[in-house]
Structure 1
Amino acid sequence: MKHLAVTTAAIAAAALALTACGTTEPTAGDTRNSAERITLTDSTGTEVELDGPAKKVVGTEWNVVESLVSLGVAPVGVADVKGYRSWDTAVPLKNEPKDIGTRGEPSMDAIASLAPDLIVATNDLPPAAVTQLRKVAPVLELKAADAADPIGRMTLNLDLIARATGTTQEAEKLKKGFQAKLDEGRKALADAGLGGAQFAFADGYVVANQVSVRPYTGGSLIGAVNEKLGLKDAWGVKGDELYGLGTTDVEGLTKLGDVHFAYIGNEEDKDSTPFTGFLAKDSVWTSLPFVAKGNVHRLPDGIWMFGGPESMNKYVDSVVKALKK
């Protein structure tokens, strides 16, 4: 997976367990300036102790970086800064953080040089790397995704980061804004007669002169948002247990039938836009019903498909606009 560094009631119960654990519970107000110690339990069950709300924070994955910036926390270190700026324009960086290396292999020396209060990582990193990070500073390790409840996992991670940084009020605003955006988008599509429309979202890459297509099934964050918008998942493939991502090729797209097909690419990476480039003269692609009818929608660059509420808000706006044309 080229750009992904590896990507229900049970989750609700887990959320209660995670947020209730600790010696310091945030009050209704913003706790950023509190001097009290904070104790959290991260997604691995590890207890994380902080002297107070973390201010010097490092993020090793783009989704946690987006959450930090959305909450008003300027991370001092970010993995692959250039990549983040290219792929996540919904929540641009407001400072000039130190580039700590790649998302898959962050530099321990670069992170240590920042003397952070907290490192926010995900289980996309190998356990050995997280063990090394814990020698540098407290690490809040989050489960990057969960196909059983993608939106629940996104908001749970946001809440944990907010507790660690004393930005719980900001988190509540983000969650309310996200729900309002979902409601607005669902109504707009229903009013346009698009409620229940068959919809398939994917990304694709050209590898060794062949197109690889990655379906975002109902277990993906994008798929879960589509469902909330009243769209029907047209994919018949099974996604992985974390990110809800499947695997197919151009021939596999013939099983979709007459659907709306959408994707996100990146102009800075031509291999990520095969649907409007490499496949333009491919007879299988051009014969697909949704291609022939013009129901292929390229959504704007810079919407990180594995991001947080603000990326998903931008996604909702883009899907509604594209489908209503």
Structure 2
Amino acid sequence: MRSALTAIAAIVVLAACGTTEAPVPEQAPTGAGTASATAAPVTVTDGRGKEVKLDRPATRVVSLEWGETEMLTSLGVMPVGAADVKGYTTWVSAAKLDPSVKDVGTRQEPSVDSISALQPDLVLMEAERDAPLVAQLEKFVPVLVFTGSDATRNLDRMREDLNLIATAVGKTDAAAKLLTAFDAAMADSKQKIAAAGAAGKPFVMADGWKQGSTISIRLFGKGALVSDVAELVGLKNAWTGKVDKAWGLGTTDVEGLTGLKDPDIRLFYNAPEDDVFADGLAGNAIWKSLPFVEKQQVTKLPNGIWTFGGPLSCQQYAEALVKAYTA
């Protein structure tokens, strides 16, 4: 995600995002240091293709990326430490963190000393964070490295990442319940979209930021996780511009949106902090002339739907889509 996020890191670290929380499996959280259901050794293969061996399922876990933090927490395992806890609280609402979770620094530059001080038995991170960091951490703790995104198969990748974490922490039953609930939610959302006469309708998903007087818009093209979710429930991504191969993301400006001429397009956007669409573009003549703006088919997502998250965030996103098309 490094290439997709470099331009964004200076603002709110957008990534690289409903109103109702999806149910968490009915089981007590594992809390830091609590024994897992089984103490048998565990061997898993991470996103590097590296085999990682654990003496027993991990209970003291540090997570350095929000997507993995959400998945871990949704499995009922509260991390002992996480990167950018404040940012997570702003951008991710699907799986909330306990006040006990220690902040170990930013996602770009986590503190090795802070991580070490927590005496974790496992660290979760993404490969596009500094490779030297992996080597530093592996001197004292097993590390699972994730790809974070794959625009050729993001829904399958998400499921695999969840199952990988679940195996490492002894929560495979919880993962199965989460994925069953996810599949049911997607089927239900698809049925509601169709019943509203919106099957096949074009959509655009975006976020954005302002630097000086320049407003940049990031489009979630085909292959982005939330694009895959939207298409899974019956919609069609109208953005066909250039996107990166890993995340399915492309950057443009307001002029770049003028090719979106289909009057049925609805634009969804994410802005839990600075809202450049409602504020920065309010007086922009080009913006006001766009068909979806003229027809008031612009929908801001509820705050806290992480667009690079796990099953629970994806369910929140599907719920927001359904609400927009059935209101």
Q: Give the TM-score normalised by the residue count of structure 2.
A: 0.89
CA distance in structure 1 between the aligned counterparts of 2:155 and 2:193, rounded to whole angstroms: 20
CA distance in structure 1 between the aligned counterparts of 2:203 and 2:125, rounded to whole angstroms: 32
- Which residue matches 1:153? 157
- Which residue matches 1:200? 204
Using the TM superposition, give the Cα deviation of residue 33 of structure 1 relative to its aligned residue in structure 2, in angstroms.
Answer: 2.5
For the pair 1:260 / 2:266, whether they are aligned, the reply is: yes
> Aligned residue pairs: how many?
297
- Which residue matches 2:27? none
- Which residue matches 1:125? 129
Using the TM superposition, give the Cα deviation of residue 95 of structure 1 relative to its aligned residue in structure 2, in angstroms.
Answer: 4.3
* 1:313 corresponds to which of 311, 315, 325: 315
Question: Mean Cα displacement is larger for which, 31-40 or 46-55?
Answer: 31-40
CA distance in structure 1 between the aligned counterparts of 2:242 and 2:178, rounded to whole angstroms: 31
- Which residue matches 2:139? 135
Query: What's the % identity of the aligned pairs?
Result: 44
Question: Mean Cα displacement is larger for which, 168-177 or 42-51?
Answer: 42-51
Using the TM superposition, give the Cα deviation of residue 5 of structure 1 relative to its aligned residue in structure 2, in angstroms.
Answer: 5.2
CA contact (8 A) 2:60 2:80 kept: yes
- Which residue matches 1:290? 292
Using the TM superposition, give the Cα deviation of residue 319 of structure 1 relative to its aligned residue in structure 2, in angstroms.
Answer: 1.1
Letter in 2 for 1:194: A
Question: Mean Cα displacement is larger for which, 57-66 or 37-46?
Answer: 37-46
CA distance in structure 2 between the aligned counterparts of 1:5 and 1:107, rounded to whole angstroms: 19
CA distance in structure 2 between the aligned counterparts of 1:222 and 1:5, rounded to whole angstroms: 13
Equivalences for 1:68-217 in 2 at 5 Å?
A: 68-217=72-221
Structure 1 runs of 4+ aligned residues shifted over 4 Å read none
Letter in 2 for 1:34: T
Q: Which protein has greater RCO, CA pairs closer than 8 Å, 6+ apart?
A: 2
Q: Give the TM-score normalised by the residue count of structure 1.
A: 0.89
Letter in 2 for 1:265: A
Letter in 2 for 1:292: E
CA distance in structure 2 between the aligned counterparts of 1:175 and 1:140, rounded to whole angstroms: 21
Q: Residues 147-200 of structure 1: CA distance to partner in whole angstroms, max 9, x if unpaired?
A: 010101111000000000000000001111111111111110100000000111
CA distance in structure 1 between the aligned counterparts of 2:230 and 2:280, rounded to whole angstroms: 27
- Which residue matches 1:20? none
Letter in 2 for 1:300: P
Equivalences for 1:8-47 in 2 at 5 Å?
A: 32-47=36-51
CA distance in structure 2 between the aligned counterparts of 1:39 and 1:229, rounded to whole angstroms: 35
Using the TM superposition, give the Cα deviation of residue 208 of structure 1 relative to its aligned residue in structure 2, in angstroms.
Answer: 2.1
Using the TM superposition, give the Cα deviation of residue 94 of structure 1 relative to its aligned residue in structure 2, in angstroms.
Answer: 3.0
CA contact (8 A) 1:299 1:322 kept: no
Unaligned runs of 5+ in 2: 17-34
CA contact (8 A) 2:93 2:304 kept: yes
CA distance in structure 1 between the aligned counterparts of 2:58 and 2:239, rounded to whole angstroms: 42
CA distance in structure 2 between the aligned counterparts of 1:138 and 1:323, rounded to whole angstroms: 45
Letter in 2 for 1:313: Q
The root-mean-square deviation of aligned C-alpha atoms, in Å, is 1.2
Q: Residues 283-304 of structure 1: CA distance to partner in whole angstroms, max 9, x if unpaired?
A: 0000111100000011101000
**SS class of match (1:276):** helix
Change (3 A) 1:204 1:5: closer
Using the TM superposition, give the Cα deviation of residue 107 of structure 1 relative to its aligned residue in structure 2, in angstroms.
Answer: 0.2
- Which residue matches 2:242? 238
Using the TM superposition, give the Cα deviation of residue 54 of structure 1 relative to its aligned residue in structure 2, in angstroms.
Answer: 0.3
Q: Residues 100-126 of structure 1: CA distance to partner in whole angstroms, max 9, x if unpaired?
A: 000011100000000101001111211
CA distance in structure 1 between the aligned counterparts of 2:15 and 2:110, rounded to whole angstroms: 11
CA distance in structure 2 between the aligned counterparts of 1:62 and 1:136, rounded to whole angstroms: 23
Letter in 1 for 2:112: M
Change (3 A) 1:72 1:95: farther
- Which residue matches 1:304? 306
Letter in 2 for 1:283: A
- Which residue matches 2:19? none
CA distance in structure 2 between the aligned counterparts of 1:195 and 1:238, rounded to whole angstroms: 25
